[in-house]
């Protein structure tokens, strides 16, 4: 059986996911697309040679009889409305991060999903499917470095466009670390503080860049994440976990090494699209396979989206207060265990 997919948002990652669902992943077919920019939606159909219909909006795409499941790749603030509509229609939905723009929005999704009685939502936290992060998780679970004490991370983008704001450093960028780190060390966040080092001259007027998030967990682990989205030199994701018996570190993305003219060279990636290609493939294949074999998604859930949203709200509050802000999570409902 081939799952018929409708895609909402045909921008950068929308097109990436359409390409992989069409050419890499087994068992899915794009039958519907929509975008507030209808020309972009139509262009996408032509670009990938899709046998698909362009719908005028997300609600009509979700309601279409031939759409079995929905992929949401629109702008973050638009996600909540589309996810709620998919839940109301009883359709499974893969939603790119963030699940919702606020913790209150994520909670509305959790409440609606629980009321529907069926798990329908998967959030696009693809780092959980990345071989490097999986290796770190296994090492920690096997006590290879003893109890984690500290985590040091960097999330660097070469540049960002003019729409990118100081808050997006949290909701769009840090959100990846927010999700993957508590999962990695099996711990819960307790508080966060955000510091702003000297601003880079490369940032557009009004954008605070870089930023440093310091998260503390219930077990006393201190996590520092540098978010630097105008670093210029490339797309660079670093993660090192310091334990009581040793250290584990995310591998460098492997590019060939060249020895030439008295130099040893290895190029650095320039674009997020290339860093997690395999992880995106695996997460979307897992989404499709789980719907077919189990009837529900089994990847990062709406509850994971809620945890990330509560944490992101506290980070955003910490950006303006300059204080350590508490991260107050509700108890995980039995529905998500």
Ligand X SMILES: O[C@H]1[C@H](O)[C@@H](O)[C@H](O)[C@@H](O)[C@H]1O
Which residues in this chain contact ligand NAD in the complex, by CB under 6 A? 8-14, 34-37, 40, 58, 73-76, 78, 96-97, 124, 126, 172, 272
* For the chain, the helix, strand and coil percentages under 3-state DSSP, each to the nearest 5: 40, 25, 40
Q: Which one of 56-64, 142-150, 169-177, 207-215 is the stretch in contact with ligand X (CB under 6 A)? A: 169-177
Q: Least CB distance from residue 245 to ligand NAD, whole Å?
A: 32
Q: Least CB distance from residue 212 to ligand NAD, whole Å?
A: 21
User: Contacting ligand X (CB under 6 A), which of 173, 230, 301, 311?
Assistant: 173
Residues 94, 88 contacting (CB under 8 angstroms): no
Q: Which one of 25-33, 85-93, 170-178, 258-266 is the stretch in contact with ligand X (CB under 6 A)? A: 170-178
Between residue 217 and residue 276, which ones bind ligand X under the rule CB under 6 A? 229, 272
How many Å apart are CA 84 and CA 209, to the nearest integer? 34
How many Å apart are CA 176 and CA 159, to the nearest integer? 17
Name the binder of 268 from ligand NAD, ligand X, none, CB < 5-8 A by kind. none
The full DSSP string for 108-122 is: HHHHHHHHHTS--EE
Considering only CA atoms, which of 10, 17, 73, 18 is closest in space to residue 42?
Answer: 10
Residues 136, 250 contacting (CB under 8 angstroms): yes
Q: Is 187 in the site for ligand X (CB under 6 A)?
A: no
Q: Which one of 14-22, 171-179, 184-192, 302-310 is the stretch in contact with ligand X (CB under 6 A)? A: 171-179
Name the binder of 54 from ligand X, ligand NAD, none, CB < 5-8 A by kind. none
Q: Is 172 in the site for ligand X (CB under 6 A)?
A: yes
The torsion region of residue 220 among left (phi > 0), alpha (psi -120 to 50) and beta comes to left
Q: Least CB distance from residue 305 to ligand X, whole Å?
A: 14
How many Å apart are CA 19 and CA 318, to the nearest integer? 38
Secondary structure of residue 30 in the 3-state scheme: strand
With CB atoms as reference, the residue minimizing the distance to ligand NAD is 11
Torsion of CA 284, 157, 214, 131, to 10 degrees: 40
Neighbouring-strand partners of residue 222: 150, 216
Q: Residue for token digits 């009685």?
A: 117
**What sections of the chain are H helices per DSSP?**
12-23, 38-48, 58-63, 79-88, 103-116, 131-141, 168, 175-185, 272-275, 277-293, 302-321
Q: Is 73 in the site for ligand X (CB under 6 A)?
A: no
With CB atoms as reference, the residue minimizing the distance to ligand X is 173
Name the binder of 173 from ligand NAD, ligand X, none, CB < 5-8 A by kind. ligand X
Q: Least CB distance from residue 63 to ligand NAD, whole Å?
A: 14
Q: Least CB distance from residue 79 to ligand NAD, whole Å?
A: 6
Q: Least CB distance from residue 171 to ligand X, whole Å?
A: 9
Q: Which one of 2-10, 168-176, 242-250, 287-295 is the stretch in contact with ligand X (CB under 6 A)? A: 168-176
Q: Least CB distance from residue 180 to ligand NAD, whole Å?
A: 11
**Interface ranges with ligand X (CB under 6 A):** 157, 172-173, 176, 229, 272
């Amino acid at each position: 059986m081939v799952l018929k997919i409708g895609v909402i948002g045909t921008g950068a990652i929308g097109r990436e996911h359409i390409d992989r669902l069409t050419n890499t992943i087994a068992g899915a077919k794009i039958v519907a697309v929509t975008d507030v920019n209808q020309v972009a939606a139509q262009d996408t159909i032509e670009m990938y040679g899709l046998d698909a219909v362009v719908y005028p909006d997300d609600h009509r795409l979700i309601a279409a009889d031939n759409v079995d499941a929905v992929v949401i790749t629109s702008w973050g603030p638009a996600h909540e409305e589309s996810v709620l509509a998919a839940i109301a229609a009883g359709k499974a939905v893969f939603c790119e991060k963030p699940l919702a723009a606020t913790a209150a929005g994520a909670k509305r999704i959790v409440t609606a999903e629980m009321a529907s009685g069926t798990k329908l939502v998967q959030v696009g936290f693809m780092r959980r499917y990345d071989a490097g992060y999986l290796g770190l998780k296994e090492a920690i679970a096997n006590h290879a470095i003893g109890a984690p004490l500290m985590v040091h991370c960097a999330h660097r983008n070469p540049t960002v466009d003019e729409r990118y704001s100081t808050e997006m450093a949290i909701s769009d960028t840090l959100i990846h670390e927010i999700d993957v780190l508590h999962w990695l060390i099996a711990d819960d966040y307790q508080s966060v503080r955000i510091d702003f080092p000297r601003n880079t001259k490369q940032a557009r007027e009004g954008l605070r860049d870089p930023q440093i998030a310091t998260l503390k967990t219930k077990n006393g682990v201190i996590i520092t994440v540098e978010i630097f989205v105008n670093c210029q030199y490339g797309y660079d994701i670093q993660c090192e976990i310091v334990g009581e018996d040793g250290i584990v570190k995310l591998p460098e993305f492997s590019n060939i090494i060249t020895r030439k003219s008295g130099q040893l060279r290895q190029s650095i990636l320039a674009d997020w699209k290339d860093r997690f290609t395999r992880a995106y493939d695996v997460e979307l294949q897992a989404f499709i396979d789980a719907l077919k074999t189990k009837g529900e998604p089994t990847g990062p859930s709406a509850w994971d989206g809620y945890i990330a949203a509560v944490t992101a709200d506290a980070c955003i509050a910490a950006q303006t207060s300059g204080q350590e802000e508490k991260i107050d999570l509700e108890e995980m409902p039995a529905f998500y265990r």
